[in-house]
A and B are shown apart, each in its own frame.
Chain A
């Protein structure tokens, strides 16, 4: 149990385009989902917290107009990187916390390359 999926697993796009990443909890309902970014050989950096049906809470320094998060249901959250630039190239990972527990389960990640 406790499986989180992400789609796509990798994406290459041109500078200036937008990219949407989906995060789904497959076998549990997620009260809260989290979005992280990780650059090579660096630690995970929390970008934002999303709760179903409410606006996401962004960490300091993360541009909310650039990284749009929608948590439409208890099993789906999406991250849209708008007007992507090469510096947005990174490994984006979501995690989900179920309704009753404290554990967070991570998706497999999405590798974004912006040309």
Chain B
């Protein structure tokens, strides 16, 4: 059973701080990784995709991938109250299906 694990949170950070969200996965052969943001009552929105070891930056977001440790993370710099949402880590399997973690709820305090 392929699994993706996330801490459910909530992760509470003050406005302006760095939020660090973590994810581990069980399938060592996985090659494609994604972070989605989901606001309450809305559908998921793609934030980042990452395929190679190392860091990938896009604006205030940085995704980090370490395949040897089977670990993916998302850093959000200068966190804003509007970043408060559930962040879903997803790993793509060989049939292009996404295996989702249960999500980490982030709360950014003004």
Which residues does A use to contact B, with CB under 8 Å? 2, 32, 34, 43-44, 46, 49, 91, 93, 95, 97, 102-109
A63 CB → nearest B CB, Å: 19
B96 with A97: CB separation less than 8 A? yes
Given contacts A44-B44, A108-B42, A109-B43, contact A102 B100 (CB under 8 A): no
Q: Mark B27-53, 1 if CB is under 8 A from A, else 0.
A: 000001010100001111110010100
A5 CB → nearest B CB, Å: 11
Interchain CB contact (< 8 A) of B43 among A32, A97, A106: A106
Total contacting residues, chain B, CB less than 8 A: 20
If over half of A's interface residues share one DSSP class (helix, strand or loop), that class is named, otherwise mixed; here it is strand
Which residues does B use to contact A, with CB under 8 Å? 32, 34, 36, 41-46, 49, 51, 88, 92, 95-98, 100, 102-103
Q: Considering the chains assembled together, what is the distance between the CA atoms of A32 and B103 in angstroms?
A: 24
Q: Considering the chains assembled together, what is the distance between the CA atoms of A91 and B41 in angstroms?
A: 9
A37 CB → nearest B CB, Å: 12
A102 with B46: CB separation less than 8 A? no
Q: Given A34-B97, A34-B98, A104-B34, output 9 extra A-B contacts at Cβ < 8 Å.
A: A32-B96, A49-B97, A93-B44, A95-B98, A102-B51, A103-B46, A106-B44, A106-B46, A109-B42
Q: Considering the chains assembled together, what is the distance between the CA atoms of A2 and B43 in angstroms?
A: 15
Q: Considering the chains assembled together, what is the distance between the CA atoms of A95 and B97 in angstroms?
A: 11
Residue of B34, B51, B95, B97 with most partner-chain A CB within 10 A: B97
